[in-house]
Structure formats: C-alpha cells, structure tokens
Structure 1
Amino acid sequence: MTSLAFTSSAQVLSISSAYGVNLTGNERTWDCPTFDVSKLEREIKRVEDLGLKAVRLPISFRYHLKSDPDFGKKLRRLLRSCAKVKIELILANFDHQLSEEHLEEGTFQIIDQWMAVLDILPKNTKGVFLEIVNEPTISPSSWYKASMSILSEIRKRNNEISIIVGASNANSMFELSRMKPYPFKNLIYTFHYYEPYIFTHQGTSWTGDQHATVGIPYPYDEEMMPVMNTKVKGTSGEVNFRDYDKTGNIVAVEDKISQIFNWAKTHDVIIWCTEYGVTENADRESRINYLNDVSQILRKYSIPSFLWEWEGNFGVKEIMNLSNK
C-alpha cells in the first residue's frame, strides 16, 4: 500500500481518494516550454506509484503544434507510456485565446488544433480524453455556440473518444448547474473547485487586491484569523473575508458540491472535478486540511477528482514524502 507522510506534521494528505493530478508546465507559453517526454514519463511513474489512475496534461496546442516539429512523435510516445502503466490521460486545451471579439475565428482555430491532435492520436484511443477548452470566460450563450461547433467537428472525426467539457465563467460549477446537457454521447462534464477563493488564492498576485490577505487558516478558526490587509477594503474580498466563518469549513464544501452532483444526477450525466487545490501561500497544515476535506466530499459523491497541481505555486509534490509500505 502506498502512503504519503509529511515531514513536519503528523497529518497526512490523503490523496488516495483523488483520481488523478495535473502535470502542469506545457501550458506556460511565457516560459517557452519544451515538451519534455522523458520528464513527463518520470512524473507519470511517480503518479502511478501513488496509486492514482489518471493524469491531466494542460497543453498549449497553439504553441506546441507550431513550435515543435516533433510534437506529434513525442505525444504518441507519451500515450504509449501511459498505456504501459495503465494511466489515463486527459489532453486539456489551455491558452486557447477564445474571446467574444474573435469568437468565430477563435472557434475555428480550436477546431483546427483538435483536428491536428486527432491526426496524431492512434486508432485505439482507450484511456485518452480530450478536454476541448480550459476555463472559457466568454458569455454562456457564446460558449454554448462555440462548444457545440467544436464538439460537432470532433465527433465527425471520432465518435468514440471521450470528450470533457465544462461551463463558462472558468469552468464554474454554478454555470454548469444552469446548463442543458449537449446532444452528444460519451461526454464528461467538468467543474473546477477552489471555494472559498479567499483561502485557496490568498496572496496570489494575478487575482488582485481582493486576495491580498495571507495567513488565513482552514478550517476557519477565529483565534488564528489574521487582520485583513488594507488593500482588500472596497473589493469583493472584504465581504468574503467577513463571511469566511460560514464558508471556510467542510459543511460549506459539501453544500456546493452536492448541488452539482444533483444536477448531474437529474440529467443522468457524468461529472469530474478536473481541478481543485490551494496556493502554497497558505500554511501547510491548512493546505492538508483543505485538500483532505474536498477530497472526502468528492469521494462521498463518487466524483473523480484531479489535484491542481503536481509542481508549481499550487504544487503538492514538494509538501509530501513518498514512501512505499
């Protein structure tokens, strides 16, 4: 049995309830990433050793298809490696640049990218999943129009491969709960879970002043709460900070996740949570508490889940010690 022991605490991150993990890096075009198959294979072997079943691979197809003439060969090698260790692989389309201003053009570009990927994939695509767009931010109506076109074109080429699709507002579970399922078979609906953001995104520069307060514990503990950062005043973070006693606990986690579970049950569709996590700006014990609580609730509702992320500013790799017992 594989277990994870933390060096500085008796607490353990119980990721056995997670289905998989995100291996990030190939979506970060600002770093000019190289599609390093050897490194991916090493990390996938570690993931398999942990007992996880799948890897979600964020990729900028826009970048790699153009910049790397060997991308197709490398991707096929990775697929063979995943099949060898029986790890399922989600190919998630990041950096898609879909916008309201260039909706039609952007949709066509995404379709072209997926057609190129389908040309690369082998005939047997068992264990491979296509996530058409990560975290669309256009309006719900525009996203439905664009996603219908993307799904239709993929299905014309491959009627069997599993496709993952989420809602607008960055794969919001709340937007998903308002959606009507698509008229296609073999779809998996996804949502991302980072609630409450005031905890999971504390101190993250890219989310603005609303998350400037750091030292926020999980679960909520009045005696451990920091003083609100003055930068937060006047932003939505002020209200979220005030209400954290109601949102920073497992009861609130279950309340939200149960709602999307009920939506999926009503429509008889499959749902996955392809991202959940917390920034390393939070203290280690709080991170463990939070990830364990979210994992527990997702497991309770039989929702396959993917930690965000293996390495990076939300990374779980550096806070755990792998030991085989």
Structure 2
Amino acid sequence: MSFRALNVLFFPLFILVLTQCSILKSDENTSTGISSPLDPFEQNAELGRGINLGNIFEAPEEGSWGLYMQEEYFKLISSAGFESVRIPVRWSAHTNDSAPFKIDTEFLNRVEWAVDEALKNDLMVIINVHHYDEIFQDPAGEHAKFIAIWEQLSEHFQNKPSGLLFELLNEPHDNLTANLWNQLLPETLEIVRANNPYRTVVIGAAEWGGIPGLMKLQIPEDDNLIITVHYYEPFQFTHQGAEWVPGSDAWLGTTWDGTDSEVDEIKNHFDQIYTWAAQRNVPVNIGEFGAYRRADNSSRVRWTTQVVHYAITHDMSFHYWEFASGFGIYNPNTGQWNVELTNALINTE
C-alpha cells in the first residue's frame, strides 16, 4: 500500500481522535475549576487570619453605605499579613423577583472582579449570600429565588480555583428557623455540588449564626464543609452605640478590661464551639467578630486579642468584622490603619 493510500486511510481517523481529545479537554476545562477532592481542615488552615470586606456589596447598592470596592484594598490587606477575605454580597437586591430570577450581569461581573483581585493578591476568598432579609421573613415565598441564585453562582464561578469558597447564607434568623434551615441546607448544597463537586462550602447556623443556633445545626452529609460561627459577646460591649441596634446608646461607656471573669467567658464559649465541632469532625471559621468604633480603642484591642487567641489555639480560622467602616481597622479617607487593632489580629498567638 502506498503512502498516499495510508494517508487517505488514516487521516480521517486522526481527525476523529483529535476531535475527541479536544472535546475531552473542553469538558475537563469547563466542568470544574478543582480537579480533585479537598481537605476542609487544610482549607480552613489556609484561610487563617482574614477580614470581611463589609458594607460594600452587601449594601443595597455599592456605595450607598459610603464604601466602594477598591483594587488597592486587596493589596493593602495582603501586605498587612492577612491570608483571606470574606466578601458579603446582597445578591437578592440584584436579582429579578420573577422566574428565572436572573442576577444582574453587571453586578455579577463586578463581584467576580473582586474575587479575581483577591486571588491575584494571594488571598483566599469567601463569597456568601448576605442580608437576604426577604427570606428571613418569608422562607417559602423566597425559596425558588434563593435556589436560583445558587444555581447561577455555582455555574458562573465553577472554574475558579480552590481559593474561592462559597458560604450559603449569612445569619439565618426570624421565620427561617433552625428547623427550616436544616431542611434548606442539604437542598442548596446539592445545587452547588452539581457544578462544584470539590469546592469547599461554608455553612452557618440559624438564630443569627451564634452559639445557641450552632447547637441546633444539622450538618448535611458532605466531606468538604467548614462551619462558621459569629461571635459578638458581650453584645452590650461590642455593639454599644450601634445606630441599627435599638437602645444601644445606653451601653456607651461599657469597657472590656480583660478581667479573669471576662476572659473566662470567652474561653468557655470557644471551648463549647470546639467541643461541638470535634464531636462532628468539622473545622470551624469564626466568620464575624468585632467591637464597634464607639467603644474605647483600648477595650476593643483587649477584647480582640483574646478572641483571636482562643480562635488560634483552637485551630479556627477567622474573619474580623470588618475592614474600613464602623468596626474597621483602616480609614480609607486618611489611609491610616488602627495599628493596635491590626496588630491584635495579625500578631496575637
């Protein structure tokens, strides 16, 4: 048989094989950005010390609470020594109220830009569904929209690397009870897993995500979850003078002095969280904690130091609330850091 005949015979076969390889490669590139299972404990350790980029995307509109997401924030946060950011997002305000509940493309791309900036600056990043007030009042009526939001997020971000984590819902409360949340959790997780089988997912408890709700949380069957807990105790100290908390002006002047009883309270709370998690073999992230700016700075530093200490000694990652607003450690108008508070977050062991 001549070379020409061989060429005629095998060239179509070559094209077929090449086409099949291209299809396989395309499928591999589009199915998921993570090619193998992850260890959530390792993921949690890599989250390490983090901070919330709050009051930006979870505002009704970006800028309406005085802050816009800035490229320099990610560089500043990384240079300061933080290892991750949590980006709260009010997706419900940018999603149509009727089926198919489409998320606004411009807003979706804006959040993706922030995710990419975090990753580019060697920061792991968590995005969540934040301030979905409607579902807290009407869980049944908002169910389809909530599921549709996660269908779109799961698909849109599926090719991102393992440094991106999803947090399903911030602080379920009111009519979204612990019982209802325990039912919604596995359903939502199944939606995420369709496009992100290996991505680490963060889940919190109902009743505002604190310790009482944690005791009622039922963890879905899944090998790649991190449990997040929010910690603002004692509340009359951490939220003194907070404009959104009725009666909080009466708490102004409340100090946190680091007495034995005050420190023991924090220790006991963290021991309780640790014991609960150890019994279930799940890692823990302290997703929010902080003391509002109207408390005296020395008290804020003392309290933050102790919270960080017990988080670190219990192998918990954390995200301080927050970067540049009422609880913040950075003043975007002056470019100045709250050095003492930042040191408490970065250098406390």
Say whether 1:320 aligns with 2:327: no
Shift of 1:207: 1.8
- SS of the residue corresponding to residue 191 of structure 1 reads strand
Matched, 1:295 2:313: no
- Cα offset, 1:179, TM superposition: 2.6
Aligned to 1:263, what secondary structure does the other structure show?
A: helix
**Are positions 1:73 and 2:86 aligned together?**
no
Match of 1:63 among 93, 98, 112: 93
Q: In 1, Cα distance between the equivalents of 2:95 and 2:120?
A: 25
Bigger Rg, structure 1 or 2: 2
Q: 2:60 aligns with which of 29, 42, 45?
A: 29
Report how far residue 160 of structure 1 moved.
1.2
**Separation in 1, partners of 2:70, 2:94:** 15
Counterpart in the other structure of 1:283: 296
Amino acid at match of 1:126: S
Per the alignment, do residues 178 and 69 of structure 1 end up closer, same or farther by CA in structure 2, a change over 3 Å counting? closer
The reply to whether residue 47 of structure 1 matches residue 87 of structure 2 is no
Determine the structure 2 residue equivalent to 1:267. 280
The question of 1:309 aligning with 2:339 is answered no
1:105-156 deviation digits (Å, cap 9, x = unpaired)? 3222111112222232151431011111111002210111122221122122
Aligned counterpart, 1:157: 195
CA contact (8 A) 1:135 1:168 kept: yes
Q: Which structure 2 residue ranges, 5 or more long, are not aligned? A: 1-46, 97-102, 332-336, 344-349
Deviation at 1:80, TM superposition (A): 2.8
Distance in 1 (alpha carbons) for counterparts of 2:64 and 2:184: 28
Structure 1 portions without partners, runs of 5+: 1-16, 222-244
Which residue of 181, 202, 213 corresponds with 1:143?
A: 181
Q: Secondary structure at the match of 1:207?
A: coil
In structure 2, relative to structure 1, the CA distance for the partners of 1:200 and 1:30 (3 Å cut) is same
The correspondence for 1:86, drawn from 122, 137, 143, is 122
Q: How does the TM-score come out when normalised to structure 2?
A: 0.73
Tell me which amino acid in the other structure corresponds to 2:58: E
Q: How does 1:59-208 map to 2 (within 5 A)?
A: 59-65=89-95, 68-99=104-135, 102-137=138-173, 138-208=176-246
Question: What are the superposed Cα offsets for residues 277-325 of structure 1, whole Å, 9 maximum, x if unpaired?
Answer: 00001011111111111111111111101110001111121352489xx
- From the superposition, tell whether residues 30 and 44 of structure 1 become closer, same or farther in structure 2 (CA, over 3 Å): closer
Instruction: Verify: 1:254 aligned to 2:272, yes or no.
Output: no
Structure 2 CA distance for aligned equivalents of residues 112 and 155 of structure 1: 14
Structure 2 counterpart SS, 1:212: helix
Change in Cα spacing, 1:151 to 1:217, as seen in structure 2 (3 Å) is same
Aligned length: 280
**Percent of pairs identical after alignment?**
22
Find the aligned partners of 2:115 and 2:87 in 1 and give their Cα distance.
11
Give me the whole-angstrom Cα distance separating, in 2, the residues matched to 1:51 and 1:210. 33
